[in-house]
Structure 1
Amino acid sequence: MARLLSVLVLAILLVPHPAHAWGRLGHRLVAALAWDDLTPQARTQIARLLEGEADPTLPGIASWADELRDHDPDLGKRSSRWHYVNLAEDECHYDAARHCRDGNCVVEAIRAQTALLADPSRSHAERLQALKFVVHFIGDAHQPLHAGFARDKGGNDFQIQFDGRGTNLHSLWDSGMLKAADLEEAQWLQRLRAIPLAVDLPAQPLSPPSQQWAEASCRIVLRPGFYPAKAILGDAYVPSWRPLAEEQLRRAGAELAVTLNAALAR
């Protein structure tokens, strides 16, 4: 009986957890960072769009797209492929015909939803939904495994043990590394705001450079050591890779701000 119980416990531990890019905390952080850099005009328009929401803030809607499966299963199913694009098998070179049939990937979803948000002739409901998608998908595009290998479903099928429990590489990057730091949201924001951006961002992009974001995320996946050599994660992995995850969160917030400022300039 004791042996059977041990086997059952191990099986439970090895069941992969549902993966959402950056998890709820990560998406809230991206949205909060973006709010810092929004123009007064963009903030005013966003506030109008968010009137009546349960939490009428950018962080408050940041995980909406991951929650669709619960409150709008049909839209959740239709938009499920908009969260990612698999580029790693092709050395991170995006080709719309190959990687994004019918526009069903994060690269084209960001472009399409940003265009809807920027169109003042669209209804309030359409623009609100587009805002929710844009906030979420730009976060997704900066999570490396949302542009990773198709063969392991962006690391979801790559099983590991971390901190004494079973999980997968995707979940580790989504939330495991952030949770391991044991910081509150305000502490995370202070930490991320201190990270300098490596390059200047354009003030008014003609179109969101979502292809470049996805390709850059994919190149992280291909770096030596990104995929751990052993299933049981060593003590060095998280300290080695979390700074890069933090940089991606910081960049996602900045890119989101630039995108929203441009979309809501009118």
Structure 2
Amino acid sequence: MLRRILFCGGLLAAFALPSPAHAWGKLGHRLVAQIAERDLTPSARAEVDRLLAGEADPTLPGIASWADELREQDPDLGKRSAKWHYVNIAESNCRYTPRRDCPNGDCVIEALRTQTAILADRTRPRAERAQALKFVVHFTGDVHQPMHAGYGHDLGGNHEQINFDGRGTNLHAFWDSGMLNSQRLSGDAWLARIGARAPSRDAAGRVRLPPPAAQWAQASCRIAIAPGVYPQSARVGPDYVATQLPRIEQQLRDGGARLAALLNTALAAPAER
């Protein structure tokens, strides 16, 4: 009965909460992009500036949520790219098999690989590479949101109704933005709290290639299936946030550092490769 009541409350509250399909919400995506932006090499920064020239906010944080806005701005591309935001591998104990989990390349892992290749190809038109940059920034954030690599049977926690602080929502939305918003911090305060790490470099001082996107997704999935992430009761409180929020913070931090390494490699000047 309690879950039925909370489910109805969740439906009513859905109109006041961010769309649960948006990983991290705008705040989380901006934080990943801000962390990455601070660690760009001069060559990568110059290429980002060139590709984003003319945008309303020509920065990585400024375009970080672009892919979530496609459904309104470009419905056709939004529909074609809808499956690129996630991969469901929790039912397989977080082991990724491309043929099974990503038919036709329609998942966040393969989309990130494809868009990174487009971004790195300087023979392609500028507009095509600029669009790929927007996808890469966004999908790197998406793949670090654990619910975007979680269970398929409940759409990554979208069907898991919960109640926090008297408001109904679902587990996916709570991981997207609910826990972050519960701290009532500004974006700058969050950035200071999370901090940033310089990209890993090899002995010659070159930026190391980040691990494959499949590894990122599998690590995110392991968080999604960890004991306690799916609460035993539909009502969650401060103890849940105290336990799970550090995981979110680490995922945002890792996402930013890995995005920087990815862009520094993909956008390296020809002489640096």
TM-score, normalised with respect to structure 2 = 0.89
Map of 1:221 onto structure 2: 224
Contact in 1 for aligned 2:112/2:140 (Cα 8 Å): yes
2:19 counterpart letter in structure 1: P
1:40 and 1:200 mapped to 2: Cα distance?
Answer: 16
Q: How does 1:238-253 map to 2 (within 5 A)?
A: 238-253=241-256
Instruction: State the Cα distance separating 1:234 from its structure 2 match.
Output: 2.7
| 1:235 aligned partner | 238
Partner of 2:101: 99
Q: What is the DSSP-based 3-state SS (H/G/I as helix, E as strand, rest coil) of the residue aligned with 2:168?
A: strand
Gaps of at least 5 residues in structure 1 are 1-7
Distance in 1 (alpha carbons) for counterparts of 2:135 and 2:236:
33
Per the TM alignment, residue 173 of structure 1 is displaced from its structure 2 partner at its CA by 0.4
Structure 2 letter corresponding to 1:127: R
8 A contact 1:14–1:165 mirrored in 2: no
**Matched ranges for 1:174-213 at <5 A:** 174-193=176-195, 203-205=207-209, 209-213=212-216
SS of the equivalent of 1:157 reads coil
In 1, are the aligned partners of 2:90 and 2:149 still within 8 Å (CA)?
Answer: yes
The letter for the 2-side match of 1:91 is N
Q: Could you tell me how far apart the structure 2 residues matched to 1:119 and 1:254 are?
A: 22
Pair 1:110-2:78 in alignment: no
Q: Equivalent pairs: percent with the same residue?
A: 58
Distance 1:236 1:24, change over 3 A: same
Residues 1-266 of structure 1 mapped to structure 2, 5 A cutoff: 12-13=12-13, 18-19=19-20, 20-193=22-195, 203-205=207-209, 209-266=212-269
What is the rounded CA distance, in whole Å, between the counterparts of 2:257 and 2:184 in structure 1?
24
Amino acid at match of 2:232: A
State the Cα distance separating 1:208 from its structure 2 match.
Answer: 5.8
The residue that corresponds to 2:3 in the other structure is none
Asked if the contact 1:110/1:134 (under 8 Å) is kept, the reply is: yes
1:160 is paired with a residue whose SS is strand
Given that 1:201 and 1:255 are in contact with CA atoms closer than 8 Å, whether structure 2 keeps it comes out as: no
What is the aligned residue count? 257
Instruction: State the AA in 1 paired with 2:39.
Output: D
Contact 1:14 1:159 in 2 (8 A): no
Asked if the contact 1:204/1:261 (under 8 Å) is kept, the reply is no
The normalised TM-score by structure 1 is 0.92
The alignment partner of 1:67 has SS state of helix
Q: CA deviation at 1:233?
A: 1.0
Q: Given that residues 67 and 78 in structure 2 are in contact (C-alpha distance below 8 angstroms), is that contact kept between their aligned partners in structure 1?
A: yes
Deviation at 1:18, TM superposition (A): 1.7
Q: CA deviation at 1:78?
A: 0.2
Contact 1:107–1:210 (CA under 8 A) maintained in structure 2? yes
Aligned counterparts of 2:211 and 2:128: Cα–Cα separation in 1 = 19
CA deviation profile, 1:44-103 (whole Å, cap 9, x unmatched): 000011110001110000000000001000000000000000000000000000000000
- Structure 2: gaps spanning 5 or more residues: 1-7
Deviation at 1:12, TM superposition (A): 1.4
Distance 1:48 1:17 in 2: 32
Q: How far is 1:13 from its partner?
A: 3.1
Partners of 2:14 and 2:54 in 1: how far apart?
A: 41
Report the 3-state secondary structure (helix = DSSP H, G, I; strand = E; otherwise coil) of the residue aligned with 2:236: coil
Contact in 1 for aligned 2:158/2:171 (Cα 8 Å): yes
Deviation at 1:239, TM superposition (A): 1.1
Contact 2:200/2:261 (8 A) holds in 1: no
- Partners of 2:40 and 2:19 in 1: how far apart? 32
Following the alignment from structure 2 to structure 1, what is the Cα–Cα distance between the partners of residues 149 and 71? 22
**Structure 1 residues 201 and 218, CA, compared in 2 at 3 Å: closer, same or farther?**
farther
What letter corresponds to residue 65 of structure 1 in structure 2? A
Contact (CA 8 Å) 1:155, 1:170: kept in 2 or not?
yes
* 8 Å contact kept, 2:208–2:261: yes
